[in-house]
Structure 1
């Protein structure tokens, strides 16, 4: 039996890169996608040097033609067993009254339409993988779609309107897809992280304002790390094929909700 293959979007940093490392160490052949070719090339080289299987493919998930072309290249792989829709992000923290519509559009295109593009393009391969593993094992088999959403997709907060709307879209996409695929050999897993401190998320949201970015985590002793979230993704993906983790919410202990956070003085 050949090694399973996992496609990971947004693999150039943060949760995507950490997930690639986790799944590669677990025996998956990982296909790394992101816009920054230098980052994913370096990660692929790192994993290959460690004796793991990784290839990099530069990709903008908002470009449907590029996504379809990428999907066509996967004919060279025995199967595509897992898709981790991780590409996303936040822009701005302005109230609805003054928010930049371009920021909202960018967030929707990346978080929602990007997930839609990859899922549509790879669903035939994921279905075939589920059928193949069922035939080989005599069990249920499963291709797996993972949607990395956010606790912002479950509850709102001031200043988060655009990001919250986009992540609600990603949450509903996952929920609807699971209903529509019921009875097929494909499971749909949603992982919704709370406060995660990565090297880029907050600085990107505040467009390079490092002071505002640092304030997000001020006084929080132990926010989640990218590897904490990657650990939950690996666990969910590697459950027996008849087990579907519909929705896994993961927060640091210091965060009880999107707006209730314990901060040390």
Structure 2
């Protein structure tokens, strides 16, 4: 049998410099290079729901305090406001992150965009929930608000648009229920299984066990770099006074 190993190895080896060159060129891309507007996401009106934490859930915010959280800037106590059982972003003070780290999880989040509509597109009711501090489930006021499809509410930011737009009107409460599977790396730091996520927005399936292509990137193409098995959640301060309540998590690992 004639051996074709050498040409095959040469062919495989040729991809390495091309991949490196592509990553280097990403820094020259504008953010618009990874945004798309078509196809537009169908609008579906959500039903009514009332979620209580399961018995085995860890409550991260139950309405009274922020003891489970710290500032992501310096680890100090968060400057966000808690009033009448509601947590609200204090714009320009920085995001918050959990004291505890998590891997595979089920998460429940209730959030609302400000009733007074200010701005448009990505400047309207913007925040984000980051699994492991790296993988963003977008929070945005997408009620009659045009923006790029893979950047609207319930998108996996800059990767997967939601299957439908299940957004409630400004000032009304939305729910996210998500099941997140963390990525797996071997002892050499090589990816052996990508992260995956399923999301229900107001009880409607909007992300169906989709595969994440890597951590969230605002500019450029996402790609995996090995990281710990468990990391804290982050909630973003995007300079909009988005509010939250009833945040809980169930560990699945």
Q: TM bucket by the smaller chain?
A: under 0.3
User: Over alpha carbons, which structure has the higher Rg?
Assistant: 2
The alignment's TM-score, normalised by the length of structure 2, stands at 0.23
Task: Between the two structures, name the one with larger relative contact order (CA 8 Å, sep ≥ 6).
Answer: 2
Larger relative strand fraction: 2
Larger relative helix fraction: 1
